[in-house]
A and B are shown apart, each in its own frame.
Chain A
Amino acid sequence: MSEPARQSESRGDAGEAAVYLRVVGCGNPHAGDDSVGLEVVRRLRARGEGACELLEMPQASVEMLDLLQGAGVVLFVDAVSSGAPPGTVHLAPLPSSVIEPRALGSLSGHGWGLAEMLGLAGALGRPTPRLMLLGVEVGTVGPGEARTPAVEGAIQIVVEKFPQLRVFLTGAGQGEGHDFRRFPPGDTTFPISTGDAPIAVGGQ
């Protein structure tokens, strides 16, 4: 299990974001496209994205409970395997019956994942912030493999459009439009509009 690596805790300018955003990259750094969440966080950090907190949490653990404290929105960035084309970007409220983050779902160790974290938080009476998933559809997750071009393309779009995503999640009107959205590979309209989003099924 792994504790979140708190390598950047900047909240940015006090008035810039009405809601404090914590971004948590998940996944296996040595398993091809499964590393996408960690890579997004690494690139956001490298370019000095300072108006949110950037954390790495390769896999689910009891320490996930700490992620719930002190944030208005927690955005998990993780690989997903839903059957969509590789490089598809999913934006969904969590917990979701529609899509499951690979590192936080049924594949996690000790039977500990997002559902258990929320269950324990509820049992302990800890408040839960809004939880969102930015999921990137994987192509290959073999050990030691490189990320696929489709996922690399998705990473580039997500990192370039991150300021819009941050405003979408935390700025004025942040309570609206948080239903399930899916962006096909290469769709640069992310995160605001897309041809088939929002999808009516919702995320809960």
Chain B
Amino acid sequence: MTQGNTGSAGSSQRTVKVDYLSRVEGEGGLYVRVENGQVREVKIDIFEPPRFFEAFLRGRHFQEVPDITARICGICPVAYQMSSVHALEAALGVTPGPEIRQLRRLLYCAEWIESHALHIYLLQAPDFLGYDSAIAMAADHPQEVERALRLKKIGNDLLALLGGRATHPVSVCVGGFYKVPRRKELEALRTDLEWGLEAALETVRFVAGLSFPDFAPNYEFVSVSHPDEYPMNERKIVSSAGVDIEPTEFERVFLEEHVEHSTALHSKRADTGTSYFVGPLARINLNFEKLFPRAKEAARATGIAWPCKNPFMGIVVRAVELVHAYEEALAIIASYREPARSREEFKVHAGEGCAATEAPRGMLYHRYRINDQGLVEFAKIVPPTAQNYRRMEDDLRLFLPGILERTEPEIARACEILLHPFLEAEARP
């Protein structure tokens, strides 16, 4: 981190610069300039080069797409993979049966478990407990860190069973799965999942006891919404400002644009040009009643008034969703019937389709066009973090005036803590 003070007679200027945001995969920094006590400039600077996934998907066969998009993120490969599968199934008019649909939700549960356990304990908890790192925290809180490691490992085991391996799963295909698990294989995970549910409830109690800064901007929350389910893999897109659209309308309502200071695109509302917020806080605020019973009960027991607008409390929401994921995983396994076939048969034809699903850190959107040979002609991928960058910069502008009396290192640290709820990996597909 670097910082400085400059100024001429009658004016003063301070800059705060974080060269590398900590505990985040990818490469990004932060630049803040304050002049005469006013925040003049805020830039989240993603300087890692773009990876051109959308470009090199062109010309590939549609069944290669799930395996390629799973490589976009090591933390949320399922969300990228499944968003592409749903979009391609929309293009091809394929509708898998209920057993496959349940297995796909189980796949999302596994990923949410992995990601939320990691994020809560190793990324965010050290911030609120005053440690520089999870390692420093572990010395004083070994029980919590051991709990995190086991919670995450159970998610890994579930994902490895369903996806063929715990990272970048390979069993998913357009139409279903290449291979589905046997009932007894899923049953073998039940004891661990039951332990995980109790540990997730303990996690809610742990994070609800943390102290959070008082900060509650007036967000437009955006998430996927389903009439009967807490949102994971379908269906509509809704917002706290009244948006209620099919995924086919996403690009009419939300716009991505280049900004000079970042290799990642920024998103905004197409009509108003304003930022919006995707992520766990958006999901729970827009879908609270669809949480599973114990998750809902745990959320209410925190004492937080829902809907909640404090981004720091995203750690509590992740813990509630951790409960939900364990609870739903157990329910799916209890009712699981091995499908007669692992994937649907269908005829390949030219088409275009899109889908929005929920990665652990928020909604993502995919659109593909394929030709009559099944080759991709166009791909568009909008990751959750890119949708939040504009919102993050807005939050920093709102948050900074309250901390300008602090030293530059303290300001830089406070900004990082504000950004951690939004981040796991930067967004440069």
Chain A positions near chain B (C-beta within 8 angstroms)? 1-3, 5, 59, 61-63, 65-66, 109-111, 116, 119-120, 123-125
9 sampled A-B residue pairs with Cβ under 8 A:
A3-B166, A61-B167, A62-B122, A63-B166, A110-B25, A120-B145, A123-B136, A123-B139, A123-B145
Task: Tell me the number of A-to-B contacts counted with CB atoms below 8 Å.
Answer: 49
- Contacts A2-B167, A62-B118 given: A116-B149 contact, CB under 8 Å? no
* B156 interface hit (Cβ, 8 Å): yes
9 smallest A-B Cβ distances: which pairs?
Answer: A123-B138, A3-B166, A2-B167, A119-B135, A123-B139, A109-B25, A110-B25, A1-B74, A3-B156
> Bound state CA distance, A59 and B22, in angstroms?
19
| Closest beta carbon of chain B to A33's beta carbon, Å | 21
* B24 interface hit (Cβ, 8 Å): yes
Question: A1-B74, A1-B75 given. 13 additional CB < 8 A pairs?
Answer: A2-B168, A3-B167, A5-B165, A61-B167, A62-B152, A63-B156, A65-B149, A110-B24, A110-B25, A111-B22, A120-B145, A124-B142, A125-B142
Residues of B within 8 Å of A66, CB to CB, are 153
| Closest beta carbon of chain B to A118's beta carbon, Å | 9
| Closest beta carbon of chain B to A87's beta carbon, Å | 29
Instruction: Tell whether, in the assembled complex, residue A120 and residue B22 are in contact, meaning their CB atoms are under 8 Å apart.
Output: no
Tell me which of A61, A62, A63, A119 has the highest count of chain B C-beta atoms within 10 A of its own C-beta: A62
Instruction: Tell whether, in the assembled complex, residue A2 and residue B166 are in contact, meaning their CB atoms are under 8 Å apart.
Output: yes
| Closest beta carbon of chain B to A57's beta carbon, Å | 10
Residue among A63, A111, A120, A124 making CB contact with B23, cutoff 8 Å: A111
Residue among B74, B138, B149, B152 making CB contact with A2, cutoff 8 Å: B74
Instruction: Tell whether, in the assembled complex, residue B138 and residue A3 are in contact, meaning their CB atoms are under 8 Å apart.
Output: no
Instruction: Tell whether, in the assembled complex, residue B134 and residue A1 are in contact, meaning their CB atoms are under 8 Å apart.
Output: no
Residues of A within 8 Å of B165, CB to CB, are 2-3, 5
> Bound state CA distance, A5 and B122, in angstroms?
23
| Closest beta carbon of chain A to B426's beta carbon, Å | 11
Residue among A109, A111, A124, A125 making CB contact with B74, cutoff 8 Å: A109
- Contacts A2-B74, A62-B122 given: A124-B145 contact, CB under 8 Å? yes
> Bound state CA distance, A5 and B149, in angstroms?
17
> Bound state CA distance, A200 and B98, in angstroms?
65
* B333 interface hit (Cβ, 8 Å): no
| Closest beta carbon of chain B to A26's beta carbon, Å | 14
